[in-house]
Amino acid sequence: MRRGDKLGPYTLVAPLARGGMGSVWVARRDDGGLVAVKTMLPELGASAAATQMFLEEAKIATAIVHEHVARVHGAGSDAGSLYLAMEWVEGFTLRELAETCERAGERLPLSVVLRVAAETCAGLHAAHELRGPDGSPRSIVHRDVSPHNVIVGLDGRAKLIDFGLAKVHDRDATSSGSLKGKIRYMPPEQAMGMKLDRRADVWAMAATIVRALSGRAPYDGRQDVAVLADLLSGRAPTLDLPAEVPLTVRRMLERALARDPAERHASADELRRDLERCLAQLGPKALTPAGFMGRFAMIAHARRADIRGALRGLGFHDESGVVIDIKPARRRARPGGAHALAALAAVLVSLVGIQTFARSSMRAASPAPARTAIARTGEALAVASGVAPKAVAPPPPAVVVAQPGVSSAAPSGSPARRAAAPRVRRPAVTPSDFDVALKDRR
C-alpha cells in the first residue's frame, strides 16, 4: 500500500502504525472526513485463517456501539485487499502517553490512569454484553487488552480499539497450538490455552493499569519466553507500584490479577465500579485526563500539520476536503504595471541596502539575550514529550565600534545603547523539534 491508493471510498494519506495482522493508515473519505483504515498485511492475504480473523473483527467491531469503543464505519475488499474503516481519534495510545512521561522522568498521574481505565472498562463491558439477533449472548472476549489498544483523545475520553483477536462463543480463528496476544498482558489461563471468558479481559485490564502506574507489567521479564515461564509457574505477579498509590488501589489490582478467575472481579463493570470508588477517594480536585492531555497539544498540532501536508501533497486542502487549485489563473496586468513594479522593486532594494549598512555600522556590545517565549515553550514541550528541543547556539561576541559622540560606557537604558543593541533572531520551532517516537510499533 502507498500514499494515494484507493480502498473503496477511502484515499490512504499517511501510515500510522503496523501490527501483527495489518497496518493502519489515516485516510480521507470521498466526502472529505478523516478515518483510520486498517488493512491486512500482503503476506497474510493468502491465509484463510488470517482472512477469517480480519472478517470476524469487522463483524464484532461494527456491532458494538458505545462511546468508549472506537466506532467502525465499514469494511470491504478492493482489488483483493481487505480493509476496515474506523473512527479517527485525534490522540495517543496509553502506551505512548506512559512512555513519553517515562522519558521525561515522570509517571502518569494516578487520577488520569484510573479515569482512563474506568472508561475503558465501560467499553469492554459493552463488548462483553453484546447479543446476537436472536437475543443470545455472543460471549465476546477481547483477548488483547493492553496499553497499545487504549486510545486517549485530546478531549480526555478513552476508547478501546482492535478486536482482531476477539473470540466469539467457541469460534477461534487462531490456528491450533498457536499463542496470540501480548504476553505481558496475558492472563495465565490464556497462556495455558484454556477456555476463556470475560474475566480474562479483567486480568489484562489490571495488568494495563499496573504498567501505566509503575512502568512495569506484572510479569516483566527481558524476553517473552521468560514472561511465559513466569505465567506458567504459578508465581504471583509483581506489583512495583509507586508509594503514593493508596492501599485501596493496590488491593483492587491484587484481586483483579488473581491467578484463579473465580477470585477476580466477575465482570469489567464490577472492576469499573471499584475504579470509580478509588477515584472518589482522590477528591474533586484530582487531575482529569482532559486537563492532562493539554500537555500534548503541541505534539498533536505537529502531527496534524504532517497530515495536512500529506493531504496537500495528494491535491487536497487539509481535512476539509477542498481541492487545492494547483495552477491558479493568471491575472491580466494593467497598462504600465510592469514599469511601476520595476520602480517599486528598485526603491525596496535601495531601502534594504541602506538599512543593512546602518545596522552593521551601529552594532555594539550587549548582554546575552534572555530566553525567548518560543524557547521556553520548547523546554516545556521537552518535559511533556521527553525529547529535548534543538539547542540554540549562543550569539557570537559583539564587536564594539567607536562612534563619534557616543560613549561605549553609556547607561543600558540610554538611547545610544538601545540603538547600538543588536536585534535577536527568535529560534524557529518546527514540528521536527517535537517529533517524538510515538508510532505504535508492536
Q: Could you give the CA distance from residue 317 to residue 127 in angstroms, rounded to a whole number?
A: 37
The pLDDT value recorded for residue 365 is 39
The pLDDT value recorded for residue 226 is 84
**394 has pLDDT over 90:** no
Q: What is the pLDDT of residues 149-166, one digit of tens each?
A: 999 999 999 999 988 777
The answer as to whether 277 is a domain residue is yes
**404 has pLDDT over 80:** no
Q: Could you give the CA distance from residue 407 to residue 416 in angstroms, rounded to a whole number?
A: 8
CA atoms within 13 A on the CB side of 258: 12
The answer as to whether 411 is a domain residue is no
**299 has pLDDT over 80:** yes
Report the CATH number that the domain containing residue 185 is assigned in CATH.
Answer: 1.10.510.10
The answer as to whether 173 is a domain residue is yes
- The residue segments making up the domain with residue 63 are 6-309
Name the grid cell of 311: 493531504
Q: What is the pLDDT of residues 87-124, one digit of tens each?
A: 999 999 999 999 999 999 999 999 999 999 999 999 99
- In 3D space, the residue among 56, 32, 54, 31 whose CA is nearest the CA of residue 42 turns out to be 54
The answer as to whether 396 is a domain residue is no
Q: Could you give the CA distance from residue 177 to residue 126 in angstroms, rounded to a whole number?
A: 30
Q: What is the pTM of this model?
A: 0.70
CB 203 within 8 A of CB 256: yes
The answer as to whether 205 is a domain residue is yes
The answer as to whether 98 is a domain residue is yes
Q: What is the pLDDT of residues 225-273, one digit of tens each?
A: 888 888 888 888 888 899 999 999 999 999 999 999 999 999 999 999 9
The answer as to whether 441 is a domain residue is no
The pLDDT value recorded for residue 42 is 65
What is the average pLDDT value for the chain, to the nearest integer?
Answer: 75
**134 has pLDDT over 60:** yes
Name the grid cell of 215: 512502568
Of residues 391 and 158, the one with the higher pLDDT is: 158
The answer as to whether 330 is a domain residue is no
Of residues 274 and 51, the one with the higher pLDDT is: 274
Q: Which residues are catalytic?
A: 144
Kindly indicate the confidence band of residue 44, based on its pLDDT and cuts at 50, 70 and 90.
Answer: low
Provide the pairing of β-strand 10-18 with 22-29.
antiparallel
- In 3D space, the residue among 442, 434, 347 whose CA is nearest the CA of residue 100 turns out to be 434
> How many domains does the structure of the chain reveal?
1
